[in-house]
Amino acid sequence: KRYSWDFDSNYDLFEVDLAGNMLKRLTNSVGYDAEAAWSPDGRSIVFASNRHAYSGAVESEYAARFSRDPSILMDIYIMDSSGGSVRRLTTEPGYDGGPFFSADGKQIIWRRFGLSGDRSEIFVMNSDGSNKRQVTNLGAMSWAPYFHPSGDYFIFATNIHGYENFELYMARTDGRYEPVRVTSFDGFDGLPVFSPDGSTLSWTSKRSSNTTSQIFLASWNDREARKALRLYTPRLSQMSGRDVAAEQTESEQSLYRDVEYLSSDNLEGRLTGTRGEELATEFAAKRLEELGFQPAGDNGTFFQRFSYTAGISLGERNALLLSRRNGEEQLSVQPDVDFRPLAFSATGTFSSAPVVFAGYGIRAPEEGEFGEYDSYVHLDVKDKWVMILRYVPENISPKWRQHLSRYSSLRYKVMIARDLGAKGLLIVSGPASKVKEDL
């Protein structure tokens, strides 16, 4: 058994005012034009029609069947509010109908009955007809969809619990996860519509005492709906002041709980490669999923494996030979006692060369109240080893220290020496430097 009604080929759309006075006829083509809805800005109208089937554009395999059942070639159309610029948006066999715009006018939601006519699913597309996608797959009669004003989810009716038992369900617009049940009444609940601010739901139900269809109203809790659908928090501009305050309080409490967990002893400091770090990343992935992010990692997860340098150690062959007085006197130094190569040092054997002292090895340009500072002025360091001091000069004002600190990192000092043609860099602690460790 299936629901059916007449599909009069002379059925057209008209515009009337709220007093019932006819203002304008909008369609005048042979075919069944019905189930229309205005766009939020009032410039467009989306509707269902089988007009194309009356223009000789019916494939032979559907022609005989269409003569018996005109609903099998109902498609979604769009036109401007004056009835002009009519465009067909869907072309699949079956009954496409019941379209509505999203609150921003960018999307259209509708239901499609298959050729059997006993099952239907919900679909969404962009208002220009692109990006069509099925967003339910219940294998029942799912129809009468309507967007929540946020556009993040929609509500619809389905008889998944029995042919005559229609219940309201809600589902995410992106089609992720299973729909969530809203009503629980053995009978008919259908034709749901949200108020413009999303705070109230209106729908038709037979739950009245005489079991006749009546319109019912109920308050709608968007925050609870989002939790059930595993959706992110809506933009504040889409929420009432009361909901904003409640959401912010809940967000503050949630943030506190998250920080408390991530800083707990159970996570052991979250050092890379530890069990605590694994727990922290699993926690972060769960939060991303709850916020509505799409996984883009390995095998459809939020995780991606990669290699990194956890640490380095000195090789057995590290050696440094220092000499003075034209090589007559050799200085004996031991690795990791008297010297230590930097982690970003090159690997290899390097020939001997003269050593040039370049102070703190800083080059800072003139900037505002600070004059130019150049440790290399009048020095030729090309093909020579350069010896420099760590950090910045000691006996300078706090302002100068802050200014020079921007140019005092080891990597920056190495880059300066390299750009000047130096063979290598020797970094030492000065006698006035208050270092905790010389290496």
- DSSP secondary-structure letter at 19? T
* Those residues with Cβ within 8 angstroms of residue 303's Cβ, 6 or more apart along the chain or in another chain: 281, 285, 297
Look at residue 363 and tell me whether its pLDDT is greater than 90.
yes
How many domains does one find in the chain? Answer: 3
Domain match, 203 and 291 both: no
Query: How far, in Å, CA of 366 to CA of 378, rounded?
Result: 18
- Specify the range with the lowest mean pLDDT, choosing from 87-96, 204-213, 226-235, 374-383: 226-235
Look at residue 336 and tell me whether its pLDDT is greater than 50.
yes
Torsion sign, CA atoms 254, 256, 258, 261 = negative
Look at residue 305 and tell me whether its pLDDT is greater than 90.
no
Domain match, 45 and 112 both: yes
Does residue 210 lie in a domain region?
A: yes
Look at residue 326 and tell me whether its pLDDT is greater than 90.
no
Q: Residue 250: pLDDT band by 50, 70, 90 thresholds? A: low
Distance between first and last Cα of the chain:
86
Long-range interactions of 409-413: CB distance < 8 A, separation 24+: 410/342, 411/344, 413/361, 413/362, 413/388
Does residue 37 lie in a domain region?
A: yes
Vertex 335: Cα angle to 334 and 339 (nearest 5): 95
CB 219 within 8 A of CB 205: no
* Across 63-71, average pLDDT: 89
Does residue 151 lie in a domain region?
A: yes
Segment 183-197, tens digit of pLDDT: 999 889 999 999 999
Q: Which has the closest alpha carbon to 427: 401, 394, 389, 391?
A: 389
Where is pLDDT greater, at 429 or 158? Answer: 158
Domain match, 265 and 151 both: no
Most confident of 2-11, 53-62, 220-229, 253-262: 220-229
- The residue ranges of DSSP E strands in 166-281, in sequence order, are 167-172, 180-181, 189-194, 200-205, 214-219
Look at residue 49 and tell me whether its pLDDT is greater than 80.
yes
Please state whether beta strands 373-374 and 363-364 pair in parallel, antiparallel, or not at all (unpaired): antiparallel
Please say which residue of 300, 334, 351 terminates a domain.
Answer: 300
What strands lie across the sheet with 189-194, from one edge to the other? 189-194, 200-205, 214-219
Phi (first) and psi of residue 417, to 5 degrees: -60, -40
Domain match, 110 and 59 both: yes
Does residue 310 lie in a domain region?
A: no
Where is pLDDT greater, at 367 or 126? Answer: 126
**Tokens linked to 229:** 């659908």
What's the pTM value of the predicted model, to 2 decimals?
0.56
Domain that holds residue 347: 321-428
* Those residues with Cβ within 8 angstroms of residue 315's Cβ, 6 or more apart along the chain or in another chain: none
Domain match, 208 and 147 both: yes
Does residue 184 lie in a domain region?
A: yes
Query: How far, in Å, CA of 270 to CA of 59, rounded?
Result: 64
Most confident of 167-176, 284-293, 295-304, 324-333: 167-176
**What's the CATH number where 392 sits?**
3.50.30
Q: Residue 237: pLDDT band by 50, 70, 90 thresholds? A: very low
Query: How far, in Å, CA of 221 to CA of 296, rounded?
Result: 31
Where is pLDDT greater, at 328 or 68? Answer: 68
Does residue 205 lie in a domain region?
A: yes
Query: How far, in Å, CA of 317 to CA of 168, rounded?
Result: 75
**What's the CATH number where 160 sits?**
2.120.10.30
Look at residue 248 and tell me whether its pLDDT is greater than 60.
no
Domain match, 213 and 244 both: no
Domain match, 74 and 149 both: yes
Does residue 8 lie in a domain region?
A: no
Domain match, 199 and 293 both: no
* Across 210-236, average pLDDT: 85
CB 420 within 8 A of CB 376: yes
pLDDT of residue 173: 96
Q: Which has the closest alpha carbon to 331: 355, 310, 308?
A: 355
**Tokens linked to 53:** 């089937």
* Those residues with Cβ within 8 angstroms of residue 184's Cβ, 6 or more apart along the chain or in another chain: 167
Summary mean pLDDT of the chain: 88
pLDDT of residue 46: 99
Distances (CA, A) of 172 to 150, 156, 318: 11, 11, 62
Domain match, 219 and 79 both: yes
Domain match, 192 and 249 both: no
* Across 77-88, average pLDDT: 97
pLDDT of residue 291: 79
Please say which residue of 199, 217, 233 terminates a domain.
Answer: 233
**Tokens linked to 412:** 């920056």
Phi (first) and psi of residue 82, to 5 degrees: -90, -5
* Across 397-412, average pLDDT: 89
The b-or-e profile of 57-78 (16+ CB within 10 A means b, else e) is: ebeeeeeeebeeebbbbbbbbb
- Specify the range with the lowest mean pLDDT, choosing from 79-93, 94-108, 256-270: 256-270
- Specify the range with the lowest mean pLDDT, choosing from 102-116, 238-252, 299-313: 238-252
pLDDT of residue 236: 46
**Tokens linked to 330:** 């050799």
Q: What is the chain's length?
A: 439
Helix axes 275-290, 241-262, angle to 10 degrees: 170
Q: Residue 390: pLDDT band by 50, 70, 90 thresholds? A: confident
Please say which residue of 216, 233, 250 terminates a domain.
Answer: 233
* Across 335-364, average pLDDT: 85
pLDDT of residue 238: 52
CA Rg, the chain, in Å? 37
Q: Residue 246: pLDDT band by 50, 70, 90 thresholds? A: low
Beta bridge partners, 167, equal: 158
* Across 339-361, average pLDDT: 85
Q: Residue 1: pLDDT band by 50, 70, 90 thresholds? A: very low
Does residue 9 lie in a domain region?
A: no
Where is pLDDT greater, at 341 or 16? Answer: 16
Look at residue 393 and tell me whether its pLDDT is greater than 90.
no
Domain match, 423 and 331 both: yes
Torsion sign, CA atoms 321, 323, 328, 329 = negative
Domain match, 159 and 274 both: no
